[in-house]
Amino acid sequence: MSTRTLPLLFINLGGEMLYILDQRLRAQNIPADKAKKVMNDIITTMFNKKFLEELFKPQELYSKKALRTVFDRLAHASIMRLNQASMDKLYDLMTMAFKYQVLLCPRPKDILLVSFNHMDAIKDFVKDTPSILSQVDETYQQLIEMYTPLSNGEFQLIRQTLLIFFQDMHIRVSIFLKDKVQNSNGRFVLPTNGPVPRGTQIPGLIRIFSCSGEELTRLQFNNGGNYSSKTVVCLQVNSAPNPLAKEELNLLARLMGGLEVQKPGSTDTGFRVNLFATDEEEEEALISRPNELSYGVISIQATKDQQANAELTKIMGEFTESGDPSSSASSKGDDLLAMMDGL
C-alpha cells in the first residue's frame, strides 16, 4: 500500500526499543558509562546515514520476519547481549506499544506527532554526544520534509498499511492489562468518551439547509458516547521517569527471563543485562515513557509468519558470526542488513 510507511515503522519501533532498554539498563544498575555506550552505539547504528538513505526510499513494508531481523541486529549493535527469550519479549513489547499508538491516534496525521515524540526522546538520550545528535537532527529534518506535506487521506493510507502489518497481534502485556487499556482477550480498549479530534465535531447535530443555503432545521440525537470538545495536543515534554516504572520493568523482566552472557569479544568486555527479570521490571519499562505516549496494557499475540519467505531465507543465510555483509545482497532487506552488519 503506502510506499512511505517503512521510515515511520522503523523509527517508532526503534524509539520504543530505546525507552525499554534505557530503563532496563538503569534498573539493572549497569554502570553509567557502559549504559551510555550501549545507547549511543545502538542509536548510532539506527541513524547511520547510508542505512537511513535506504530506509527512506519509497518501498513496500518489509515482511514481519525481515523487520524482526533488522531489530535483532539493532539490539545487538553494542556490547550488550540479549538472549532469544529477552529479544522476543522486547520485540513483543515494542510492537504492541506502537500498535496501540497507531490504533488510537485520533487523526491519522497524529502518527507523525507520535514519531516526533520518539525522536525527541532519542535526541535526549544522545544530547551529550554531538556527532550522533547531529545525525538524529538530520533525520528529524528528513521526517519533517517528507511527511508534513502529506494530506490526512495519505496519512490514513499509511495508517492502514501499518494496521495490516500489526493485524492479529494480541499479545497480552501485564502493565497494559493492569492499566485497563487492554482486555484479557488481548484487544485494546477503545473508549467511546473523551475529546473528539481536531476538525471533528461532537456527534449529535443534524442540520437541514434550504436550496439557498440557509439553515432550516436543527435536530439533536443521542450519540451513545460521552464526548467532549477539549482538544488534546501532543506535547513534546520529556517527563522524569516515574518511580512506579521500576515496578513495571520488573514484571517485564520476569516475563522475559534473564540474559545469558556470551563470551566477551577480544577487546570489549560484554556484559550481562537481565533485560526483564521480573514482572515489575517489565512494567517499569513501559511506565517510564513520557506521559503523552502512555498507554494501557496491550495484549500482544506473537504472530507466527508461516510463509517461507525466500527473500528472508536469503537474508538469514547471510548472517555469520563475523557479521560481514554479503556483497551480492540483492533483495531490499539485504541492503539494510548488510549495512548494519558492516557498521
Partner 1 sequence: MFHKEKSIQLKNSASALYNNLSVLRIAPRRLTYFTVVHANVVNMVSTSWDGLNYSHRQLQSKEPNVATSTSLIMQAAFCALPSRDLLVVSSQKGIQMYESDGSIMVYWHALDTPEAPTAHAVFARGISAVSDNYICVGVSSGAVLVFDIPSKGSNITLSEVLEEHKEAITDIASECSGSQECLANLVTADDGGNMCVWKSGEEFQLLNKIPGLDITCSSVKLWKGTVLAGYGTGQIRLYEAVTGILHAEVNAHARWIYSLDIAPFSGLLLSAAEDSFVRVWHLAITPETNSVEIAHLHNECVTDTQICGAKFCDGDGYAFAVTGYDLSEIIRYVQS
Nearest CA among 149, 170, 171, 147 for reference residue 159 = 147
Least distance in angstroms from the C-beta of 304 to partner 1 = 13
Output 42 or 97, the one with its CB closest to partner 1.
97
Least distance in angstroms from the C-beta of 115 to partner 1 = 18
Least distance in angstroms from the C-beta of 298 to partner 1 = 12
Output 227 or 271, the one with its CB closest to partner 1.
227
Output 181 or 340, the one with its CB closest to partner 1.
181
Q: Residue type at 203?
A: P
E strand intervals along the chain? 80-81, 193-195, 205-209, 215-220, 226-228, 271-272
Least distance in angstroms from the C-beta of 57 to partner 1 = 8
Output 2 or 117, the one with its CB closest to partner 1.
2
The single-letter DSSP state of residue 268 is S
Q: Is 310 exposed, middle or buried (0-12, 13-18, 19+ CB in 10 A)?
A: exposed
**End-to-end alpha carbon distance in the chain:** 31
* C-alpha radius of gyration, the chain, whole number: 22
Q: What CA–CA distance (Å, rounded) separates 70 from 62?
A: 10
Output 91 or 188, the one with its CB closest to partner 1.
188
Cell of 219: 435536530
Output 10 or 125, the one with its CB closest to partner 1.
10
Q: Is 205 exposed, middle or buried (0-12, 13-18, 19+ CB in 10 A)?
A: exposed
Cell of 284: 517499569
Least distance in angstroms from the C-beta of 77 to partner 1 = 27
Could you tell me whether strands 271-272 and 215-220 are parallel, antiparallel, or unpaired per DSSP bridges? unpaired
Least distance in angstroms from the C-beta of 335 to partner 1 = 13
Output 219 or 233, the one with its CB closest to partner 1.
219
Least distance in angstroms from the C-beta of 328 to partner 1 = 18
Q: Which residues make up the interface to partner 1 (CB under 8 A)?
A: 1-4, 57-60, 103, 106-108, 151-154, 156-157, 159-160, 163-164, 167-168, 170, 183, 187-190, 192, 196-197, 199-209, 211, 213, 219, 221-225, 227, 309-311
Helices 110-125 and 152-165 sit at what angle, rounded to 10 degrees? 70
